[in-house]
């Protein structure tokens, strides 16, 4: 955008060329790429088909409903890995969605769906390697794989995969990686001895895939990295999104003018203030109040006062900003704030920032088609 560009509404711009480049980067470092498109592709919108065109072999999401929709829309192999054993697995099994199974209760629910739909269920057994989150605890693994192996022999389920998640993959030299990879390999061997012989193994997410931890397996599961976020803070990926918003109100104020609720900021000098129509309802973290910065006509300007639900105020100084002028909150041009900086101002991670960007941002795409 030029200095005089006008913007009608807040805009979330997705650079599909950058997204494709990141997908190709991960595909070149792996034997197979599962592109994670959960949470509306980390807030980026309908980009599944674009990822498939640029190296993704599979798609992945947590929700069964999301997985069914992706499978029906793209025809791609699609994995869903976070469902209650009380969930309705029938539509997913009938659609050929791959499902992660972290317990005997889950396996029984999937088998019931297979029998109800007359479809062999595609199963990935999920083992907990020490993250104590999802996945079967080691003490329960033998029972799970024994039952799954028997069902695979009977043709009720198809033994597609064994999966796990590393707890310290952002730090490749951490001894947890070696221990957890050993546990994973042992879990695979145990499954195979009991008749569950997987076609694919996958243990690496974005950080692991970037650092070569677990990339010898048949798949890597990459989410954040596709969208330009390296969980370990590296800079080898292309930033994918930009956020811009118009100055809807511009005013010149005198020294001593208070801004926002409780006058969290008071002008020390005469200055110009610009109000932008975005706030914490749009994913702008309220805890970044008083620390966040934006890019105004090529230079940084501070967000002042408390971030409100629908608006923020920027001290643009002598920049000469006019109503309607586009201001960059996140961008790729020199000097523009990054998602990582917003995460730092907010005391969180970039994933948290980007996935909270709401529906009120107008999405725009360049570099290709995002239609699946």
The residue annotated as part of the active site, out of 38, 44, 71, 351, is 38
Report CA-CA distances (Å) from 15 to 1, 284, 336: 14, 21, 15
Q: Rounded to whole angstroms, how far apart are CA atoms 205 and 183? A: 17
DSSP strand pairing (271-276 vs 249-253): antiparallel
**CA separation for the pair 100, 103 (Å, rounded):** 9
- Pairwise CA distance, residues 341 & 155, whole Å: 51
> Could you tell me if 165 and 129 are in contact, meaning their C-beta atoms sit under 8 angstroms apart?
yes
- Cβ neighbours around 359 below 10 Å, total: 9
CB count in 10 Å sphere of residue 213: 25
Q: In what order do the strands lie in the sheet with 77-80?
A: 200-202, 157-163, 121-126, 98-101, 77-80, 58-61, 33-36, 220-222
Coil, strand or helix at 300: strand
Tokens of 3: 């200095």
The HSE-up count of residue 171 (CA atoms within 13 Å, CB side) is 6
261 as an active site residue: the answer is yes
Among this protein's residues, is 280 annotated catalytic? no
Position of tokens 């310290």? 168
- Give me the residues paired with residue 273 across strands: 251, 315
125/145 Cα distance (integer angstroms): 8
Burial of residue 280 (number of CB atoms within 10 Å: 0-12, 13-18, 19+) = buried
Nearest partner of 234 among 225, 222, 243, 221, judged by Cα:
225
Query: By 3-state DSSP, what share of the chain in percent is helix, strand and coil, each rounded to 5?
Result: 35, 25, 40
Rounded to an integer, what distance in angstroms lies between the CA atom of residue 94 and that of residue 122? 10
Catalytic-role residue among 115, 216, 255, 261:
261
Q: Which residues are catalytic?
A: 38, 261
């Amino acid at each position: 955008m030029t200095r005089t560009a006008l913007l009608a509404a807040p805009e979330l711009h997705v650079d599909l060329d950058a997204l494709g480049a990141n997908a190709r980067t991960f595909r070149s470092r792996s034997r197979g790429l599962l592109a994670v498109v959960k949470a509306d592709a980390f807030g980026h919108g309908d980009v599944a088909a674009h990822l498939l065109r640029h190296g993704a072999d599979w798609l992945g999401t947590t929700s069964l409903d999301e997985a069914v929709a992706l499978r029906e829309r793209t025809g791609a192999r699609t994995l869903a890995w976070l469902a209650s054993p009380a969930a309705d697995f029938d539509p997913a099994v009938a659609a050929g969605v791959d499902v992660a199974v972290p317990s005997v209760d889950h396996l029984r629910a999937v088998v019931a769906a297979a029998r109800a739909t007359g479809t062999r269920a595609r199963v990935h057994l999920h083992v907990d390697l020490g993250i104590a989150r999802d996945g079967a605890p080691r003490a329960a693994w033998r029972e799970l794989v024994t039952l799954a192996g028997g069902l695979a022999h009977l043709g009720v389920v198809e033994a597609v995969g064994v999966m796990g998640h590393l707890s310290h993959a952002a730090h490749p030299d951490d001894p947890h990686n070696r221990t957890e990879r050993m546990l994973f390999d042992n879990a695979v061997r145990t499954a195979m001895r009991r008749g569950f012989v997987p076609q694919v193994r996958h243990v690496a997410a974005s950080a692991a895939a970037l650092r070569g931890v677990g990339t010898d397996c048949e798949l890597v599961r990459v989410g954040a990295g596709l969208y330009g976020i390296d969980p370990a803070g590296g800079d080898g990926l292309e930033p994918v999104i930009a956020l811009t918003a118009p100055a809807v109100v511009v005013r010149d104020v005198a020294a001593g003018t208070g801004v926002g609720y409780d006058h969290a900021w008071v002008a020390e000098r005469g200055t110009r203030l610009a109000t932008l129509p975005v706030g914490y309802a749009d994913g702008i973290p309220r805890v970044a109040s008083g620390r966040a910065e934006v890019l105004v006509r090529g230079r940084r300007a501070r967000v002042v006062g408390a971030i409100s639900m629908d608006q923020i105020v920027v001290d643009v100084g002598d920049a000469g900003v006019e109503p309607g002028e586009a201001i960059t909150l996140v961008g790729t041009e020199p000097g523009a704030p990054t998602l990582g900086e917003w995460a730092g101002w907010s005391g969180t991670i970039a994933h948290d920032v980007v996935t909270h960007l709401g529906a009120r941002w107008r999405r725009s795409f360049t570099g290709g088609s995002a239609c699946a």
